[in-house]
A and B are shown apart, each in its own frame.
Chain A
Amino acid sequence: MTKPTSIPSTLRGHYAGFVSRAIALVLDLMLVITFQFIFVLVVSLLLNFFGLDELASAIFEPNSGEASSPLVTVLRLVLSFITGSIFLAVYLIFFWTLIDQSLGQILMGLRVVRTNGNSLTLVPSIKRMLGYYLSFFALGLGFLWVLIDDRRQGWHDKIADTVVVYNWDARIGRRMREWLAGRETKVIEQPKADALGSADNTYPAAERSGG
């Protein structure tokens, strides 16, 4: 016997998945890199304007001059990574604290909230940012954790006690719905694990078929 599967009309407020969050993060990274590039350009121009050409060259042109060596190059790369990380941290913490969303998340219709629904404050935002570094240095495992976690939380979410939810009337695309509808007849009813979900929370049937 097949159980009728209902796809929620809107996923607003539901936990956001890995792809949406990854795209939002990539957009944020692109924004920060662009800002960093502009910042370096402005600083370089300022140094040149005040006659500090050698200093500007030593800082921003690692492969020119006699001082260039592998160690110096690595140091400069590390310095640039740290600078970029600081920019990213300041940017994300600022926006999370202010409006619970970064610009990339605004574009993707996502919002970061505490698990109890409260808005983010400064401390959870800092914790979440530190969690980002932890997730990153663990070969990205902390980010990939979103794919298998029940509430789609990464390590950084668990550290800061936050979740990321859809902040728009999210819906599954037409093709996906058709694909799911096409596989609906193969669904075999399974006992429900718990009574958490109403009909609106029922997940697409295809994922129940197990292949």
Chain B
Amino acid sequence: MTVQNSNRQPSEFSSPVIVEMSGGDELTELIPQTTLSLPPGLTTDTASPADPEFDAYLAVVKLLLGGTIEGAGELVRRLEKIEAELRASEQSQQEPGTIENVNDVVRYMLVGMTLSMSDGLRRQAVKLAQASDAFWRLTGSAVDPLVENRLTGFFTRPFDRAFDRLVNRGQARVNDWVDLGRTHEPAARLMARQLTMEVIDDFISHLSENEELASLVQEQSVSLATETVDEFRSRTVSADALAENIVRRILRRPPRQELPPPSDGIMETIIVKKGNNQKS
């Protein structure tokens, strides 16, 4: 594998680095070269990709990486937001939990121990790094006069050169990885984001194109609207009777005993029209 601009620092790159993959690279070696044959009668639904250079394995890996990065970023953003809201709200000042039995004590102890350990580990790691740095500086200054002289240099120079070569090769490999990551990370994130949106879009379009679901929603909406109108009308019919009753009482007229029946002509007209509507 050859990488262009591999000697430059990552901050110097203004555009993605082009990585040329040779046939014997590790990534190509990870792709299975043998094809598995299915039993007769069984076929896969997967269509062969239109792009002959499409690498499914690499695409899936990129998708997983992009999804992990995007998911982690989103998770951190949400956690930060929740923490800020909790801090701002009064919930952060709520009373400590109550202890009612032994189980509560054990639970609280485990929670407290976990929190304390994670914080302690972080502080110990920082201390360890500082101590290591101080140790190497101290020993280096003490050993340097012994090592850096002509006599020992005669023996140690070949080892130093070999070590330098090893370091250079390691650094080159690290640079390759950095460049590879820089090249593919934005595409992986974009792929994960687009795939998520496409899956959501497909899901929504599937729901909207589902005739059964659409008819169900439509029926429910019509039924709800009809019920609402009927309920409103029923209330006004009740209000008709109530208002009439009140006015008659105010006017000291005898309350209505019976609804005057409509004439036969009216009933015929209304019922005939109802029958016609039901037929249509």
Contact = CB atoms under 8 A, between A and B. Distances in A.
Interface of A: 8, 11-20, 23, 107-109, 111, 113-119, 144, 147-148, 150-151, 163, 165-168, 170-176, 190, 192-193, 196-198, 201-204, 206-211
Name A's interface SS: loop
B258 interface: yes
A17 B243 contact: yes
Given A13-B262, A119-B269, A193 B237 contact: no
A207 B266 contact: no
Given A113-B269, A148-B248, A207-B241, A196 B234 contact: no
18 contacts: A11-B259, A13-B266, A13-B271, A15-B260, A15-B262, A20-B236, A20-B239, A20-B240, A166-B237, A172-B238, A176-B242, A193-B258, A197-B259, A203-B259, A208-B257, A209-B255, A210-B249, A210-B254
A108 B244 contact: no
A203 B258 contact: yes
B271 to A, nearest CB: 7
B82 to A, nearest CB: 46
Contact of A17 (B234, B241, B248, B255): B241
Given A13-B270, A113-B269, A168-B230, 5 more contacts: A14-B261, A116-B263, A119-B269, A202-B258, A207-B241
B247 interface: yes
A117 B268 CA distance: 7
Contacts of B161: none
B257 A20 contact: no
A107 B244 CA distance: 22
A108 to B, nearest CB: 6
Q: Interface extent on B, as a size class?
A: 35 or more
Contact of A20 (B229, B237, B251, B263): B237
Contact of B239 (A19, A109, A168, A208): A19
Given A117-B264, A210-B254, A148 B259 contact: no
Contacts of A172: 234, 237-238, 241
Contacts, number: 144
A200 B259 CA distance: 9
A115 B233 contact: no
B15 to A, nearest CB: 55
A208 B255 contact: yes
A196 B238 contact: no
Contact of B243 (A19, A114, A165, A204): A19
B24 to A, nearest CB: 77
Interface of B: 229-231, 233-245, 247-249, 251, 253-271, 273-274
Contacts of B247: 144, 147-148
Interface core residue of A16, A166, A172, A192 (most chain B CB under 10 Å): A172
Contacts of A119: 269
Nearest to A190: B257
Contacts of B229: 107
A118 B270 contact: no
Nearest to A209: B255
B274 A12 contact: yes
Contacts of B261: 14, 196-198, 201
Nearest to B271: A13
B230 to A, nearest CB: 8
A129 to B, nearest CB: 21
Closest 4 CB pairs of A and B: A17-B240, A117-B265, A176-B238, A197-B258
Given A17-B237, A173-B237, A165 B270 contact: yes
A211 B248 CA distance: 11
B250 to A, nearest CB: 10
A209 B248 CA distance: 12
A117 B257 contact: no
A112 to B, nearest CB: 11
Contacts of A144: 247
Contacts of B273: 167
A207 B259 CA distance: 11
Interface core residue of B257, B267, B274 (most chain A CB under 10 Å): B257
Contacts of B266: 13, 113, 115-117, 163, 165
Contact of A201 (B244, B259, B271): B259
